[in-house]
Amino acid sequence: MTTFELRLARYGADLEASLRAVYGERTDGLFARVIELMRRALERRPEELRQLDEARLLRPDWLQQPGMIGYVAYADRYAGDLQGVADHLDHLCDHGVTYLHLMPLLKPRAGENDGGYAVADYRAVRNDLGTVDDLADLTRELRSRGISLVMDLVLNHVAREHEWARKAREGDPHYRDYFYLYPDRTEPDEYEKSLPEVFPDFAPGNFTWDDEIDGWVWTTFNSYQWDVNWTNPDVFCEYLDIMLYLANLGVEVIRLDAIAFIWKRLGTSSQNQPEVHHLTQALRAALRIVAPAVAFKAEAIVGPDDLIYYLGVGSHHGQVSDMAYHNSLMVQLWSMLASRDTRLTEVALSAFRPKPTNTTWATYVRCHDDIGWAIGDEDAAAAGLDGAAHRSFLSDFYAGAYPTSFARGLVFQENPATNDRRISGTLASLAGLEKALESRDERAVDAAVQRILLLHAVILGFGGVPLLYMGDELGMLNDYSYADDPDHAADNRWVHRPRMDWELARQASEDPGSVAGRINAGLKHLIAARKRTPHLHASVESTVVPSPDARLLILRREHPLGRMLQVYNVTEWAVQLECAVLREHVGGEASEVLSGYDYSLAPYSLTLTPYQALWLVEKVTPPTSHA
């Protein structure tokens, strides 16, 4: 049997069953088309990538290893263009990066394009960044440095200027069926009754009138982003072909952008529908046949109960995405810092059911998007809080409007109907550095630096791939110049998408005592500690140990090499903790990974300094042989 036949024998049934679950009768003929697409893609797969496939099959847990460190950047903002990125890999290697997510770089529409998420051509690179060949070269260069390239695949919509939309506008019935088009408001009005709004401020509603279509177009995000119709099997084939194309260019992780939205159902929020998972399963099976080196990352910013399905629950176990963003952990990090209280976080994290052991969280402090306060009312109530009041407090706090706030954030997408407000801002500005530097308050600067490092300690220690967001490794502040760019001015998420400050990077390495130097050195120290701690393998779950003190978060990891207990002080106060609480889990003598010291837990208590993190590892002595 050939490799193709062997893999088809292994995953073909899975692929066919998931297609049937979505398309039913319409599957006849579709499966044969899909097989043909896969066969052609495998034939074209470069030899070097086939070898990577073999290597990955021997190391299926590659994404779960503690050595994985992610970095997220816009190619142009990081280094001008793709060649510039290739010329600036030392900075990434210096931080131990093994996974690079370059923000959308495929050809977008001209003008406003939602940071590249309005794609006009999936098979072309943005003109100013380079060519498809440059992209393939970059993946090769990255691979030689042990870095996997991660790229977005925007699956929910295309730009109004994409060829499919253009042909639909010209009246081609084949392409009109690629979209959700309505002659009048009857159906849109029905759907709107249960649809939330993603951008209530600058793109209210979910439908846009288009003169050329002479009708309403489904546009969940911006008016120029047209939702594609996945009920059409042709759309499935198009995206599969694009995925295989990207895989053959050397993309190693595909970020499934806004995946929650790709299936619509009247009377629901049209998110997280079962078909979304069947479709992912079909795409996953196809990729396993052609390009097993490639992993999927789900970008599903949804509640914990819905999120877990993206990693595979029930019949989808092990069959969908390998990785998903831990949005809840990110939100909780900011909630803890503002409230100086870990109770809500304990409740929220405990409510997560364990993820499948072969999957991985993407953990992060900041990303290119705003922070939405995804805190459930029930969780809040269980922590003695009112959900709406707490969310409102967090918006006030991070907008700098709360009396004791240290943060400098901007309010994003205020929704007067729901009173919902989200927040933009860089990690450093939200953590207090901008305000502290402005007021020349040394102690406040120290506290901000400590907060930045504490948040990173949590994402590096939680288990999963920690994603460092470009500029955060230097404590880069808000960039208010976005307001001068007409394409960006209306979208204040650009305040936290600055251009890389290479001068600051140089200062940081030359002067470790400078603010950027302290942040950078502290972060590198944490990264090195993570890399040498096998207990952080992502197959192991971090679980909450109820803390006797609401200022401390305590997490426990049950690894065969020994238990690990992590303690985080989320406040600017010194906090005493009874050692008995720790002894119970890691015994009387433990190694503390971050300091490198052995800790005796025999005394009555120990003191955590402000914003201190402890990573305690149990000492397990293997049985000795008896002579």
Could you list the active site residues?
Answer: 257, 299
Q: How far apart are CA 447 and CA 465, in angstroms?
A: 26
Kindly state whether residue 210 participates in binding ligand GLC, applying the rule CB under 6 A: no
Asked if 257 interacts with ligand GLC (CB under 6 A), we say yes
Instruction: Quote the least distance from Cβ 226 to ligand GLC, whole Å.
Output: 12
**Binds ligand GLC (CB under 6 A): choice among 41, 243, 258, 383:** 258
Question: Cβ closer to ligand GLC: 319 or 426?
Answer: 426
Judged by phi (left if over 0) then psi (alpha if -120 to 50, else beta), residue 257 lies in beta
Q: Cβ 369 to ligand GLC, closest distance in Å? A: 5
Pick out residues in 299-328 that bind ligand GLC (CB under 6 A): 299
Neighbours of 240 (CB within 10 A): 21
* Shortest distance, position 254 Cβ to ligand GLC, whole Å: 14
Q: What secondary structure, in 3-state letters, does 401-454 show?
A: CCCCCCCCCEEEEEECCCCEEEEECCHHHHCCHHHHHHCCCHHHHHHHHHHHHH
- Residue 222 Cβ, how far from ligand GLC at the closest point, in Å? 8
Distance, CA of 111 to CA of 499 (rounded, Å): 19
Contact (Cβ atoms closer than 8 angstroms) between residue 189 and residue 143: no
- CA distance linking residue 466 with residue 63, whole number of Å: 11
Nearer of residues 297 and 557 to ligand GLC, judged by Cβ? 297
By CB under 6 A, is residue 239 in contact with ligand GLC?
A: no
Residues pairing with 155 in the sheet: none
Q: What residues between 93 and 132 interact with ligand GLC by CB under 6 A? A: 114-115, 117
When binding is defined by CB under 6 A, the residue of 72, 100, 149, 154 that contacts ligand GLC is 154
Q: Please tell me whether residue 221 binds ligand GLC under the rule CB under 6 A.
A: yes
The three-class DSSP label of residue 13 is: helix
Measured from the CB atom, the residue of 255 and 288 that comes closer to ligand GLC is 255
Is residue 70 a contact residue for ligand GLC (CB under 6 A)? no
Q: Site residues for ligand GLC, window 485-504 (CB under 6 A)?
A: none
Residue with Cβ nearer ligand GLC (257 or 346): 257
Minimum CB distance to ligand GLC smaller for 14 or for 299: 299
Start-end of H helices in 194-326: 233-249, 274-290, 304-307
b/e sequence 557-584, b meaning 16+ C-beta within 10 Å: bebeebbbbbbbbbbbeebebebebbee
Least Cβ distance, residue 299 to ligand GLC (angstroms): 6
- Using CB under 6 A as the binding rule, the residues of this chain from 566 to 625 that contact ligand GLC are none
Alpha-carbon distance values, 431 to 444, 569, 580, 609 (Å): 10, 15, 32, 18
Per rule CB under 6 A, count of chain residues that contact ligand GLC: 10
Minimum CB–partner distance for residue 117 and ligand GLC (Å): 3
Q: Mark 128-163 as b/e (b = at least 16 C-beta within 10 Å).
A: ebbeeebbbbbbbbbbeeebbbbbbbbbbbbbbbbe
| 327-386: contacts with ligand GLC (CB under 6 A) | 368-369
First to last CA, the chain: 52
Residues that bind ligand GLC in the complex, under the rule CB under 6 A: 114-115, 117, 154, 221, 257-258, 299, 368-369
